[in-house]
Amino acid sequence: MLSAIRLLLFPFSVLYGLVIRLRHFLFDTGVFKSESFSVPVICVGNIALGGAGKTPQTEYLVRLLQPHYKVAILSRGYGRQTRGYICATPQSTAADIGDEPMQYLQKFPGVTVAVSERRAPGLRLLASSHDVVILDDAYQHRAVRPGYSLLLFDHNTLRRKQFLLPSGNLRDVFSARRRADLMVVTKLPGPPSGAEKQLFEAVLEPRPGQKIYYSGIWYAPPVSLLEEHASPLRLDAGGHALLLTGIANPLPLKSALRQRGWQIKHLAFKDHHPFDRKDLENIIEEYKTLPTDKKVVLTTEKDAQRLLDESLRDLLLNLPVYYIPIETAFFDEGESGFDLEILNYVKSAARDRRLH
């Protein structure tokens, strides 16, 4: 059935591909203008729908750069209920700036977090007062020419044939990968074997000098959503859990929890879903159906930003909700090589900026 639907949609994918290729051609030939900036600009992106790990990769870059530079993150702010350029403040909410920028704001109080649908005007406002700007999910935003681009691929997407929307999940032509300075194969369950590396390299066909790094996801101990002094919860504690997700791809988290002994009942919402009181009432009812007293609600750190809306607080007070932070972890000594690539770029770009 799926193949039949894909076949029916394939002509639309061909048309979509023609439009995308024409757009790239117009940017490449200068008909459409791309703006460059003297400030070092690092773009983190992907070319497929679904979570490739852009948020933990962006956080990795912040942890790497913040000790040495004044860092800003500029995002589109998906799921927010506002428009235009907004520089986040301690009073900002997920409704104001989006869940991912809200997560950055909570984690990195010394970093400027801003949102703007149009990245170039946002960059103009940030450039003079920052040493480096990270563009979150901006690979297709060609009105800006970043100084350095990271392109992420969930390893699972590289193991099957790729199709453009709407018959597949590619939102950009696969050849667009050649613009990236560096590619990262993400969400691997462990270090890739030699055969796996050969497979990924055969699919990605990196151009000379274009490096590929390999990473996985590290799950941190769960953190209580509201109760700062709640009983600690080990990730491998096991038991019954209502898993609450509103992200693009919850399957890796679901699998990781089951491997650690959790009996999961999963409530899946669409990506960036704005939780309301009716949702919370349904969640509470589902939680009550779990068959034991040893039970919790588990969610992602991104979903936690939307659950922390003040209008939901009274419903959450007596519900044991924990979110699970995640981090990017590189394999095969890739961390040192990756770090060096990024630091060398920023150092070189910063030096050029001073000279000009």
At how many degrees (to 10) do helices 54-65 and 99-107 cross? 30
Task: Record the tokens describing residue 352, joined without a space.
Answer: 């050029």
| Amino acid type, 66 | Q
For residues 53 and 215, what is the distance between their CA atoms, to the nearest angstrom?
10
For residues 305 and 78, what is the distance between their CA atoms, to the nearest angstrom?
13
The DSSP letter of residue 123 is: H
Instruction: Identify whether the C-beta of residue 256 lies closer than 8 Å to the C-beta of residue 234.
Output: no
- 55 labeled part of a ligand binding site: yes
For residues 13 and 289, what is the distance between their CA atoms, to the nearest angstrom?
43
Q: Where are the alpha helices (DSSP H) in 66-219?
A: 94-97, 99-107, 119-127, 194-204
Convert 232-256 to b/e letters by CB count within 10 Å (16 or more is b). ebebeeeebbbbbbbbbbbebbbeb
The DSSP letter of residue 79 is: T
- 95 labeled part of a ligand binding site: no
- For residue 16, CA distances in Å to 21, 23, 30, 47, 158 come to 9, 11, 21, 14, 21
Task: Record the tokens describing residue 275, joined without a space.
Answer: 């939780």
- 50 labeled part of a ligand binding site: yes
DSSP SS3 for 322 = strand
- 347 labeled part of a ligand binding site: no
DSSP symbols for 208-225: TT-EEEEEEEEEPPPEES
Q: Could you give phi then psi for residue 112, rounded to 5 degrees?
A: -75, 130
Going across the sheet that includes 112-115, the strands are: 86-87, 112-115, 71-75, 132-136, 41-45, 148-154, 182-186, 211-219, 326-330
Can you say which residues are annotated as belonging to the binding site for ATP? Answer: 48-55
Can you say which residues are annotated as belonging to the binding site? Answer: 48-55
